[in-house]
């Protein structure tokens, strides 16, 4: 393999990003755009054509900067595309869209899938059942059900594939302990629609010739199968020769963005509880990993407000001293307190800086709650958007003194996880910085007050 540059196509729930990375892991260029949902008939859906036009235009811009040898798609989970030979047979459904009148009696038990029952379309199986029931003629035309990373790979190279990290992302379609399809797939007769599985680093083919001509990319540009975004962040931290159940391999990775997802490598799976939105994700190496999450980025934005202004340590200390508590939850979907309306107890924040401080305290407390519930151990690495918050890591370090907390220098661990898919025989240098604990006076009592006030039931 030549030392070519790599394009990482990273489609998150809120934003999409295309990053050019060289063979040494250095970022050369980046393009971003909002990933807005189209709220129009037949249901809220992703703007796949808008994204496609943006991808091709960005590729044209990058092609003049380096010889690009491969493209790796990385996307958010709970999303699939129904395609025939010509393309989509239905728009790609937004997982936050309501699914009225769906009969989901075929859902497998939690003990089989370790996939908790979630609202709207966060269980991909519910989405697919609803589409089959609501649009039977279109569903019958489908030749493949493609997980979202593999949909983009298919558009780029023409080969359909399945991949376990997206299948194992609270879909109800996967058995993480056996690493095979769940009973739902058999019951619904979907097996013929699910293409052969391929590890995320598999080269599915090369760029379609007309796309190479349109973008200026090489005709031999490889297209990899791709990966679920949180699992891309997790990849560099996985023990390569031991199973996650090995105690000496324990470590925790926090993928932060629209969702805060705690992946506790080495944590026991028997602690998982469906009612708390705890699940087993499937890693790129085919290992079940105990995980828990909440919609941290969305909740932070709700608490901090549209005029979010970074706070000071004094703002954090003042809210702790006056016992201003934000209690879950401030998003409509997911997390251990889904269905409970968020509220603020104590003196409300008065300034944008205090709202930012309260949002930071809330997210740190929620994260610590999730880590305790998981039985997470070992060092904690924070990746993603929360690394830009100077107080999230330090507050978490104070709340979890038994775990060393570090912030990644990479604001998007997905980029380097994707790079490792192309360069599996190489390692990236450590890019973390320790987060010194920030312990405002009274923090321990503040945490206990917050825990005691959490919603019950």
Question: Per-residue pLDDT tens for 191-245?
Answer: 999 999 999 999 999 999 999 999 999 999 999 999 999 899 888 888 763 444 4
Considering the domain architecture, whether residues 168 and 304 belong to the same structural domain is answered as: no
Q: How far apart are CA 364 and CA 317, in angstroms?
A: 14
DSSP category for residue 438: -
Task: Tell me whether residue 48 is in a domain.
Answer: yes
Q: Is the residue at 233 inside a domain?
A: no
Q: Is the domain of 275 the same as that of 214? A: no
Residues 253 and 391 in one domain: yes
The domain of 9 spans: 5-225
pLDDT of residue 246: 46
pLDDT band at 264 (very low <50, low <70, confident <90, very high): very high
Instruction: Let me know whether 192 and 335 are in one domain.
Output: no
CA 269 to each of CA 120, 175, 273: distance values in angstroms, whole numbers, following the listed order: 26, 13, 9
Q: What is the pLDDT of residues 346-396, one digit of tens each?
A: 999 999 999 999 999 999 999 999 999 999 999 999 998 999 999 999 999
Would the pLDDT of 457 be above 70? no
105 domain-assigned:
yes
210 and 248, same structural domain?
no
**Does residue 111 carry a pLDDT above 90?**
yes
In a domain, 231, yes or no: no
Q: Is residue 332 domain-shared with residue 441, that is, in the same domain?
A: yes
Task: Convert the pLDDT of each residue in 138-148 to its tens digit.
Answer: 999 999 999 99
Both 88 and 154 in one domain: the answer is yes
Domain boundary (202, 225, 248) is at 225
Looking at 108-112, 337-341, 358-362, 401-405, which range is the least confident one? Answer: 337-341
> 418 and 392 in contact (C-beta within 8 Å)?
no
On whether both 338 and 247 belong to a single domain, the answer is: yes
Q: Per the domain annotation, does 164 fall within a domain?
A: yes
User: Among the listed ranges 241-255, 289-303, 428-442, which one has the minimum average pLDDT value?
Assistant: 241-255
Q: Specify the range with the lowest mean pLDDT, choosing from 5-19, 104-118, 296-310, 414-428.
A: 414-428
CATH code of 211's domain? 3.30.420.40
Q: Tell which of 191, 225, 259 closes a domain.
A: 225
- Per 3-state DSSP, the chain is made up of helix, strand and coil in percentages (nearest 5) of 35, 20, 45
Q: Got the DSSP string for 212-235?
A: HHHH---TT-EEE--EEHHHHHHH
Instruction: For residues 269 and 151, state if they share a domain.
Output: no
Please indicate, yes or no, whether residues 385 and 419 belong to a single structural domain of this protein. Answer: yes
What is the average pLDDT value for the chain, to the nearest integer?
94
Do 150 and 294 reside in the same domain of the chain? no
Spell out the long-range contacts of 149-152 with Cβ–Cβ below 8 A and sequence spacing 24 or more.
149/73, 149/74, 149/75, 149/200, 149/225, 149/226, 149/227, 149/228, 150/73, 150/195, 150/225, 150/226, 151/80, 151/81, 151/83, 151/92, 152/9, 152/11, 152/55, 152/73, 152/75, 152/226
Question: Does residue 190 share a domain with residue 65?
Answer: yes
pLDDT value, residue 409? 73
pTM over 0.75: yes
| Residue in 210, 214, 264 with CA at minimum distance from that of residue 403 | 264
Establish if 102 belongs to a structural domain.
Answer: yes
């Amino acid at each position: 393999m030549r030392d070519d540059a790599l394009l990482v196509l990273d489609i998150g729930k809120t934003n999409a990003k295309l990053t050019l990375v060289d063979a040494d892991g250095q970022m050369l260029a980046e393009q971003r755009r909002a990933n807005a949902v189209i709220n129009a008939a037949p249901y809220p859906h992703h703007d796949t054509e808008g994204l496609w036009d943006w991808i091709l235009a960005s590729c044209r811009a990058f092609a003049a900067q380096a010889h690009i040898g491969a493209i790796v798609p990385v996307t958010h989970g709970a999303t699939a595309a129904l395609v025939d030979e010509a393309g989509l047979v239905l728009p790609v459904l937004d997982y936050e869209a309501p699914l009225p009148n769906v009969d989901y009696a075929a859902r497998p038990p939690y003990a089989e899938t370790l996939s908790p029952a979630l609202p709207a379309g966060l269980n991909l199986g519910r989405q697919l059942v609803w589409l089959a029931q609501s649009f039977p003629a279109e569903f019958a035309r489908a030749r493949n059900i493609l997980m979202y990373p593999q949909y983009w790979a298919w558009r780029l190279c023409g080969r359909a594939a399945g991949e376990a990290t997206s299948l194992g992302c609270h879909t109800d379609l996967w058995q993480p302990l056996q690493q095979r399809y769940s009973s739902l797939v058999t019951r619904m007769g979907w097996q013929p629609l699910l293409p052969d599985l391929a590890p995320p680093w598999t080269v599915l083919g090369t760029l379609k010739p007309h796309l190479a001509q349109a973008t200026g990319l090489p005709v031999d540009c490889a297209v990899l199968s791709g990966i679920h975004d949180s699992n891309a962040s997790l990849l560099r931290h996985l023990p390569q020769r031991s199973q996650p159940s090995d105690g000496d391999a324990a470590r925790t990775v926090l993928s932060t963005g629209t969702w805060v997802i705690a992946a506790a490598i080495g944590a026991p799976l028997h602690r998982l509880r469906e009612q708390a939105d705890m699940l087993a994700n499937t890693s790129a190496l085919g290992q079940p990993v105990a995980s828990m999450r909440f919609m941290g980025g969305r909740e932070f934005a709700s608490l901090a407000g549209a005029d979010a202004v970074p706070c000071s340590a004094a703002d954090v200390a003042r809210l702790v001293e006056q016992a201003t508590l934000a209690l879950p939850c401030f998003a409509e979907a997911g997390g251990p307190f889904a269905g409970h309306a968020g509220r603020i107890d104590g003196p409300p924040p008065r300034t944008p800086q205090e709202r930012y401080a309260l949002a930071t305290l809330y997210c740190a407390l929620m994260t610590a709650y999730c880590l305790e519930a998981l039985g997470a151990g070992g060092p904690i690495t924070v990746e993603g958007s929360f690394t830009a918050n100077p107080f999230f890591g330090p507050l978490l370090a104070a709340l979890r003194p038994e775990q060393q907390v570090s912030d990644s220098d990479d604001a998007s661990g997905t980029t380097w996880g994707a790079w490792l898919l192309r360069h599996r025989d190489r390692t990236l240098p450590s890019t973390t910085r320790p987060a010194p604990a920030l312990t405002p006076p009274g923090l321990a009592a503040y945490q206990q007050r917050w825990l005691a006030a959490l919603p019950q039931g």
